[in-house]
Amino acid sequence: MQKITLNINGHAHSVHVDQDTPLLYVLRNDLGLKAAKFACGLEQCGACKVIIDGQAVPSCHITARSVQGKEITTLEGLGTRENLHPLQQAFIDEQAIQCGFCVPGMIISAKALLDRNPNPTDGEIKSAMSDNLCRCGFMTGYGGPSSGPRRSQKKLLPGKAR
């Protein structure tokens, strides 16, 4: 076991980890941040996504040790129940939620996209969201999760803190 410090949601967290402990395990088991989910374990479904240095990244295979010194943002770091992030509110307003299992990864993917490109095309939104799989099928039948990011981008003004 090695003691490492991770910068998560703007706060330093010291944890003891084995060399190959996935970041997802540290988030969920050591820090109690439960939004990122374990699903496929193969970096293919998006349920475990977090933002690392501005990029939406699956956290199920990346080791916690490898992200020391990087900015990590989880869904819990975006907003609170009392003060939702515009993306969280947009997903609610668009009724883009059914069982909710895939939603944290989708919101994280949308946040990373909108931070890089505040005015994406529908094609760019679909591309950014394409590796997030919906387990219950709602997002597939709904036509995809693009309305949440589209609605929230109208609320996010250039230069406004996100």
- Residues of each domain in the chain carrying CATH 3.10.20.30: 2-76
Higher pLDDT pick, 1 / 154: 1
**At the topology level of CATH, where does 2-76 sit?**
Ubiquitin-like (UB roll) (3.10.20)
- Residues of each domain in the chain carrying CATH 1.10.150.120: 86-155
Amino acid 92 reads: I
How sure is the predictor about 93, in pLDDT bands with cuts at 50, 70 and 90?
Answer: confident
CATH of domain 86-155: 1.10.150.120
Q: Identify the pLDDT of residue 143.
A: 47
pLDDT tens per residue across span 41-68:
999 899 999 999 999 999 999 999 999 9
Q: Identify the pLDDT of residue 161.
A: 42
Give, as one character, the DSSP assignment of residue 63. B
Strand order in the sheet with 2-8: 11-17, 2-8, 71-73, 49-52, 55-58
| Position 103 pLDDT exceeds 70 | yes
Collect all residues with Cβ–Cβ distance below 8 Å to 58 and sequence separation of at least 6.
43, 44, 46, 48, 49
pTM for this predicted structure: 0.85
Alpha carbons 66 and 73: distance in angstroms, whole number: 15
Q: Identify the pLDDT of residue 155.
A: 53
| Position 129 pLDDT exceeds 70 | yes
